[in-house]
Chain A
């Protein structure tokens, strides 16, 4: 037996930093305020604006799924738009051909998303990096082609449409658009709450290790392949869910909604919004939805599409150069430097005990 060792007694505060409850983080209250505003919106704006905002919320789920993949698990997908579209088609076809209820159709989209994620993810996790980018871009390029090729099944160019609104208002005091917006908003909030909790604690630490490097991760006992596959599948599930909701909001799915460019646009939205931030996903999604219509208000006609793409490219370039953590990251840095200035004004504040918390909403 070895002799008992006298440990140097840590003086003063000798306990580990507490886990601060979620409701005590500033990010939580920011989110609460944001949700409160979002809930008030349908009573202030037109039904057409609500339609656009519902699209933003649905696309935001897709972008958030990409944030989970790129920002948190360190993988890249250039084919998330295809998975988004597959979710849309799965849900719409389940309603149209199988006459399943809307909520069951959403579950069907989730199941199809999981299957797609597993089938792509299994080889993808082994490839990683550049090859994974190539594989997913091929899938994104093939998807619309296959939709046309199997037009008996997919409706070809005409796609699949809904006969009635997916989320009809249950009450006379709300229009369909208002109700639909609130439903989609709820699904977005649930998704983000799910994601925010998913990347916390032990899982979050494993993801940090994976991003820092494979050798570091495995040396600390992280099963890198398993975790990457899990996150690829979860990401695909959420992309499919977002796609299904998007299809319900539009009331139709057509191949031209899901070209290769759409997949790339989602990735750009993730980077520009901030791929480690959930608010960033919403900002990125807003850009995806509003940029084309803003562009067409500046230049009419076909040229507007090019203008939208040009603006997108310029914003992406700016982000890569000046704000590598996206708009949300830049905002967070601005906030923390303002906080630092304020703190220095207060001069001699007592030192704060170390308290580890994920202080920002991601």
Chain B
């Protein structure tokens, strides 16, 4: 059964408590407190400058922030970014960021760093466990690459990919990290409606298969209403509302601050 259908599930996968951050005196996020339900797709929406990407950077540990963050009940606010990645938080970027000189396969393979353990010494000595782990990593990477439909271009340098495929490659890399939470920063930007629907369906399918939760930051309100089971609305660094899509659509504060015109366009 899906936990993200409606209401607040008992055990959220991610809990934010009083998350805040300032840049040179400017309050980018202030006292953001909400839960991300386990499983399914949660969306973070809000106008430009609301702090959506900043929130992602706090969750993934890129920024040092105030407040507490718990992943599946365990505090992670004291963990540095690479430890949070290892704990199961994966992400994509607003502008797909790939190793352009490396092959697409290699780009997905780097995602396995989060759960593989072989250190330089193991690589150097080519120990049995190092070789086994390398094989497993390659299998996982290949499986994710196949899932996003990029297997035919596995050996092509990532720099030669068209934009939509760069997004796919980035999603495959994030999936190769075996995440508990996949954070997608504007996954639809630069994609056609059909392409973004396809990409998000693929992510949702991976979520259903593995129990992974997806969190996406998105401008496209219509897309969010179609795909997300739970929505958090940010405005000027503060949390405006959280709830199921239907409730958000009718929330007067949200409509006043943000949705108004966009919702009419979407409707």
Given B80, B83, B97, B208, which contacts A216 in the complex, CB threshold below 8 Å? Answer: B97
Interchain CB contact under 8 A, B142 and A16: yes
Residue A219 at the chain B interface, CB threshold 8 Å: yes
Interchain CB contact under 8 A, A201 and B154: no
Given A19, A200, A201, A219, which contacts B91 in the complex, CB threshold below 8 Å? Answer: A219
Give A194-217 interface residues, CB cut-off 8 Å to B: 194, 197-198, 200-206, 208-209, 212-213, 215-217
Interchain CB contact under 8 A, B118 and A202: yes
Residue B155 at the chain A interface, CB threshold 8 Å: yes
Chain B nearest Cβ from A251, distance in angstroms: 33
Interface centre among A204, A219, A227 (most CB of B within 10 A): A219
A17 and B82 in contact, given A202-B116, A212-B99 (Cβ under 8 angstroms): no
How many angstroms between the C-alpha atoms of A224 and B205 in the bound complex?
33
> Which residues of chain B come closer than 8 Å to A7, judged between CB atoms?
147, 209
Interchain CB contact under 8 A, B209 and A2: yes
How many angstroms between the C-alpha atoms of A15 and B135 in the bound complex?
11
A205 and B106 in contact, given A218-B61, A218-B81, A218-B82 (Cβ under 8 angstroms): yes
Residue A223 at the chain B interface, CB threshold 8 Å: yes
Interchain CB contact under 8 A, A354 and B105: yes
Interchain CB contact under 8 A, A205 and B109: yes
> Which residues of chain B come closer than 8 Å to A224, judged between CB atoms?
82
How many angstroms between the C-alpha atoms of A52 and B196 in the bound complex?
63
> Which residues of chain A come closer than 8 Å to B113, judged between CB atoms?
202, 205-206, 209, 220-222
Q: How large is the interface on A (under 10, 10 to 19, 20 to 34, 35 or more residues)?
A: 35 or more
11 cross-chain CB contacts under 8 A: A2-B208, A8-B147, A16-B141, A17-B138, A17-B154, A202-B118, A206-B110, A208-B102, A212-B99, A218-B80, A219-B91
Chain B nearest Cβ from A199, distance in angstroms: 9
> Which residues of chain B come closer than 8 Å to A208, judged between CB atoms?
99, 102, 106, 110
> Which residues of chain B come closer than 8 Å to A164, judged between CB atoms?
none
Interchain CB contact under 8 A, B99 and A19: no
Give A1-56 interface residues, CB cut-off 8 Å to B: 1-5, 7-8, 10, 14-17, 19
Which residue of the partner chain B has the closest CB to A201?
B123
Interchain CB contact under 8 A, A209 and B205: no
> Which residues of chain A come closer than 8 Å to B155, judged between CB atoms?
17, 354-356
How many angstroms between the C-alpha atoms of A219 and B81 in the bound complex?
6
How many angstroms between the C-alpha atoms of A213 and B126 in the bound complex?
27
Main secondary structure of the interface of B (DSSP, over half): helix
Residue A324 at the chain B interface, CB threshold 8 Å: no
Give B101-135 interface residues, CB cut-off 8 Å to A: 102-103, 105-106, 109-111, 113-116, 118-120, 122-124, 126, 130, 133-135
Interchain CB contact under 8 A, A194 and B124: yes
Interchain CB contact under 8 A, A198 and B209: no
Residue A230 at the chain B interface, CB threshold 8 Å: yes
Given B82, B130, B143, which contacts A223 in the complex, CB threshold below 8 Å? Answer: B82
Interchain CB contact under 8 A, B154 and A2: no
> Which residues of chain B come closer than 8 Å to A197, judged between CB atoms?
123-124, 126
Given A10, A201, A202, which contacts B151 in the complex, CB threshold below 8 Å? Answer: A10
Given B85, B102, B208, which contacts A219 in the complex, CB threshold below 8 Å? Answer: B85
How many angstroms between the C-alpha atoms of A222 and B83 in the bound complex?
8
Which residue of the partner chain B has the closest CB to A202?
B118
> Which residues of chain B come closer than 8 Å to A222, judged between CB atoms?
82, 113
Interface residues of B (CB under 8 A from A): 1-2, 39, 60-62, 80-83, 85-86, 90-91, 93, 97, 99, 102-103, 105-106, 109-111, 113-116, 118-120, 122-124, 126, 130, 133-135, 137-139, 141-143, 146-147, 151, 154-155, 173, 177, 205, 208-209, 211
How many angstroms between the C-alpha atoms of A320 and B145 in the bound complex?
36
Chain B nearest Cβ from A168, distance in angstroms: 32
8 new A-B contacts at CB < 8 Å, known A3-B208, A17-B142, A202-B130:
A5-B208, A16-B138, A19-B135, A203-B120, A203-B123, A209-B110, A218-B80, A220-B113
Q: How many contacts A-B (CB < 8 Å)? A: 127
Give A215-270 interface residues, CB cut-off 8 Å to B: 215-224, 227, 230
> Which residues of chain B come closer than 8 Å to A198, judged between CB atoms?
120, 123-124
Interchain CB contact under 8 A, B123 and A200: yes
> Which residues of chain A come closer than 8 Å to B110, judged between CB atoms?
205-206, 208-209, 220
How many angstroms between the C-alpha atoms of A205 and B173 in the bound complex?
13
Interchain CB contact under 8 A, A220 and B209: no
Interchain CB contact under 8 A, B208 and A202: no
Interchain CB contact under 8 A, B211 and A2: yes
How many angstroms between the C-alpha atoms of A355 and B105 in the bound complex?
10
> Which residues of chain B come closer than 8 Å to A202, judged between CB atoms?
113, 116, 118, 122-123, 130, 133-134, 137
A230 and B82 in contact, given A10-B151, A212-B97 (Cβ under 8 angstroms): no
Interchain CB contact under 8 A, B62 and A218: yes
How many angstroms between the C-alpha atoms of A14 and B147 in the bound complex?
11
Interchain CB contact under 8 A, A1 and B1: yes
> Which residues of chain B come closer than 8 Å to A205, judged between CB atoms?
106, 109-110, 113
Interchain CB contact under 8 A, B123 and A14: no
Interface string of A56-70 (1 = CB under 8 A from B): 000000000000000
Given A3, A5, A220, A356, which contacts B103 in the complex, CB threshold below 8 Å? Answer: A356
In the complex, the 6 A-B pairs of residues with the closest C-beta atoms, listed nearest first: A16-B142, A354-B155, A221-B114, A221-B85, A218-B81, A16-B138
> Which residues of chain A come closer than 8 Å to B109, judged between CB atoms?
205, 356
Interchain CB contact under 8 A, B120 and A215: no
Interchain CB contact under 8 A, A219 and B134: no
How many angstroms between the C-alpha atoms of A43 and B116 in the bound complex?
49
How many angstroms between the C-alpha atoms of A208 and B99 in the bound complex?
7
